[in-house]
Structure 1
Amino acid sequence: MSAPDTTLFEGITSRIVTTSRLAMQVFERVDDDPAAGPRKTVVLVHGNVSSALFWQEIMLALPRDLRVMALDLRGFGGSGSQPVDATRGLRDYSDDIAALFDELGMVSAHLVGWSMGGGVVMQYALEHPVVSLTLQAPVSPYGFGGTRRDGSRLTDDDAGCGGGGANPDFVQRLQDDDTSADAQTSPRSVFRSSYVSAGYTSPHEDVWVASMLTTSTAAGNYPGDDVASENWPGFAAGENGVLNTMAPQYFNAAGLVDLDEKPPVLWVHGTADAIVSDASFFDLNHLGALGIIPGWPGAEVAPAQEMVSQTRDVLDAYAAAGGAVTELNWEGVGHSPHLERPKEFCAALVAHIEGA
């Protein structure tokens, strides 16, 4: 089903493209050139518990000589909700994009990925040609949770990672289409506390919340399964669903360093990011260290994941191996630089595209 008209900004249109893998919803700008080549095409990929709706301000702000597209990943927005095989890491999503490109006759593009979408575009770049990569507050190349600074895994089963880490009340509120701010676990409250920094306001907040509520909680989608573990905190990553795709046993994009053809990389993130951080409030080991989750076994056994430092280490190695990397770390900005500083984000993206 297409996104309701009330969530689409003027100048944005949506359509369903049926590929060899699933039906995907694609957002485009009215009057963009559908025949634009790869160096003039920008594809925006959203993150977890969101959809292409989040990209609309950026889509409208980018220059008109570009073809700009945003897509809904499977299980989000108006795309199909086929189960996600987490044992393939983020490959189900990157393969979906490849199938979409095939259907549209596209060879390559400038790819922009936000949060989990950053991991998706990294995975795509490992297997397909890319003109440039833009990573906005991306998941670490070593996945989410359960690793030391060098990417080595803390436990053989990725204890504390994956589907078991989702808050059940938040999942229930997604199912109930809760638009209130009555509880800390409501999607609107989570958006305000975690997606953006304190003080951010927008007349489009209802659209952002509506986007979050498109998240499918059907079997094999969000959040995914979990298994019992002898290691703290008592569960480990399962084999299906969104959160398990980023467990370190399944996802590792550090191989970008070894690519023969290295697309230029723009990395944009903020110092006030609550989700992707060296001290993430979504990392159970960090919450254990704070005493929020009892029984933490200590930093030798269960250290917090240094997510930003890991990304910097991999991108430093990428640059040392001949790749071009630009890092923008914006003071006081949260998990959504494109919402909090849209003009600066667009300017940085356009400069990156022009230099590719």
Structure 2
Amino acid sequence: MPTFDYQGREISYRTAGTAGPLVLFLHCSSSHSGQWKGLMETLSPRFRIVAPDLHGYGRSAPLPRDGSSFRIHDAGAVAALVEDAGAGPAHLVGHSMGATVAVQTALDHPAQVASVTLIEPVLFGLLEVAGDPLRLDYLQIAHDMMVLMDRDARADAAQRFMDFWMGAGAFDMLDAHTRDYVVATIDRVIDDWRGISHMAPDALGIADIAALDRPVELIWSDATHASVQAIMARLADSLPQARCRQFAGGGHMAPVTRPDLVEPHIRAALDRFTG
């Protein structure tokens, strides 16, 4: 995989296609650019596609430790990658944590962004600020994982994380290689949980979201967590320019476990944005 230097840190990425509008795919927590490999191949005849490994995932260097959240650093790397590709602005497609990076990139680097397609961005801080009872979904998992990490119970924290998103027993059903990867990246996952809190130093509020002035597509599963459903409802209310697409089944991890349910909606969004 090729790499580029972003502020002295090596960021790896994969590519597909050589012509057409530029599309960047941004993966979820404890994943990497390979999450999008199948869709990239499908879309490669029509688009020039780039999918980075965000800091601390895949083959990319860890996050800097300077007090800023992952969103700031990853958004900067995404914008730099768009500029380096020389074919921008780009259409950003992000899932979960990657969708929060897409939002941050569009806010901080609007000249590099043509549109954003957001698949269940985990902006739990919006629920915290609003006092929504469903915020407890996020607060419980974040608390559990951080306590486990304080005890250096990394595998237990990884299990708690995977079972939260994919159901009880999901971690134990993973193949050994994937389990090892989830454990190996659990520190970055903790950074993700901290960075989406309303207490993060650069937290995104609803006014920030409303300032997003790029075309937006919101995509989510009817089988996802109720807390994520609440986030999507708040985003839809704050972004009148957004088009909303809900699909049946699959849950939050459908882009990984059931891409057949999600990919038609991504293709439709890109068709809308690129004409």
Range into which the TM-score falls when normalised by the shorter chain = 0.7 to 0.9
Structure 2 unaligned blocks of 5 or more = none
Aligned to 1:22: 9
* Residues 351 and 90 of structure 1: CA distance in aligned 2, closer, same or farther (over 3 Å): same
- Deviation of residue 170 (structure 1)? 10
1:342 matched to 2:259? The reply is: yes
Match of 1:248 among 198, 207, 210: 198
- Deviation of residue 267 (structure 1)? 1.9
The secondary structure found in structure 1 opposite 2:107 is helix
Aligned to 2:243: 325
Corresponding letter in the other structure for 1:242:
D
- Deviation of residue 119 (structure 1)? 0.8
| Rounded Cα–Cα distance in structure 2 between residues aligned with 1:171 and 1:271 | 36
Count of residues in correspondence between the two structures: 264
The secondary structure found in structure 1 opposite 2:116 is strand
| Rounded Cα–Cα distance in structure 2 between residues aligned with 1:346 and 1:121 | 18
Query: Quick check: which one's helix share is greater?
Result: 2
Instruction: Give the TM-score taking structure 1 as reference length.
Output: 0.62
The secondary structure found in structure 2 opposite 1:83 is coil
Aligned to 1:139: 122
| Rounded Cα–Cα distance in structure 1 between residues aligned with 2:55 and 2:164 | 23
Corresponding letter in the other structure for 2:221:
G
The secondary structure found in structure 2 opposite 1:25 is strand
Deviations 1:139-165 (A, max 9, x none): 12x5377333579x99xxxx8796774
* Residues 194 and 216 of structure 1: CA distance in aligned 2, closer, same or farther (over 3 Å): closer
Deviations 1:316-338 (A, max 9, x none): 2311xxx132231x333222121
| C-alpha contact 1:53 1:207 (8 A) present in aligned 2 | no
1:43 matched to 2:24? The reply is: yes
Aligned to 2:220: 269
Aligned to 2:130: 148
| C-alpha contact 1:45 1:114 (8 A) present in aligned 2 | yes
Aligned to 1:81: 62
Structure 1 unaligned blocks of 5 or more = 1-13, 179-184, 224-240, 279-306
Aligned to 2:50: 69
Aligned to 2:231: 310
The secondary structure found in structure 1 opposite 2:204 is coil
- Deviation of residue 204 (structure 1)? 9.1
| C-alpha contact 2:218 2:243 (8 A) present in aligned 1 | yes
Corresponding letter in the other structure for 1:20:
Q
| Rounded Cα–Cα distance in structure 2 between residues aligned with 1:68 and 1:111 | 10
* Residues 100 and 22 of structure 1: CA distance in aligned 2, closer, same or farther (over 3 Å): farther
| Rounded Cα–Cα distance in structure 2 between residues aligned with 1:190 and 1:164 | 9
Aligned to 1:233: none
* Residues 85 and 165 of structure 1: CA distance in aligned 2, closer, same or farther (over 3 Å): farther
Corresponding letter in the other structure for 2:243:
V
| Rounded Cα–Cα distance in structure 2 between residues aligned with 1:172 and 1:58 | 37
Aligned to 1:98: 79
Corresponding letter in the other structure for 2:185:
T
- Deviation of residue 59 (structure 1)? 2.2
| C-alpha contact 1:118 1:135 (8 A) present in aligned 2 | yes
| Rounded Cα–Cα distance in structure 2 between residues aligned with 1:41 and 1:143 | 30
1:258 matched to 2:211? The reply is: yes
| Rounded Cα–Cα distance in structure 1 between residues aligned with 2:220 and 2:169 | 17
* Residues 67 and 172 of structure 1: CA distance in aligned 2, closer, same or farther (over 3 Å): farther
- Deviation of residue 256 (structure 1)? 3.0
Corresponding letter in the other structure for 2:125:
G
Corresponding letter in the other structure for 1:273:
T
Match of 2:146 among 149, 166, 170: 166
- Deviation of residue 245 (structure 1)? 1.3
Identity across aligned pairs (percent)?
23
- Deviation of residue 167 (structure 1)? 5.2
* Residues 61 and 187 of structure 1: CA distance in aligned 2, closer, same or farther (over 3 Å): farther
| C-alpha contact 1:149 1:309 (8 A) present in aligned 2 | no
| Rounded Cα–Cα distance in structure 2 between residues aligned with 1:268 and 1:353 | 13
Deviations 1:67-88 (A, max 9, x none): 2221111111111114344545
| C-alpha contact 2:141 2:161 (8 A) present in aligned 1 | no
Deviations 1:7-49 (A, max 9, x none): xxxxxxx2222233521010123xx21xx45xx2221111222
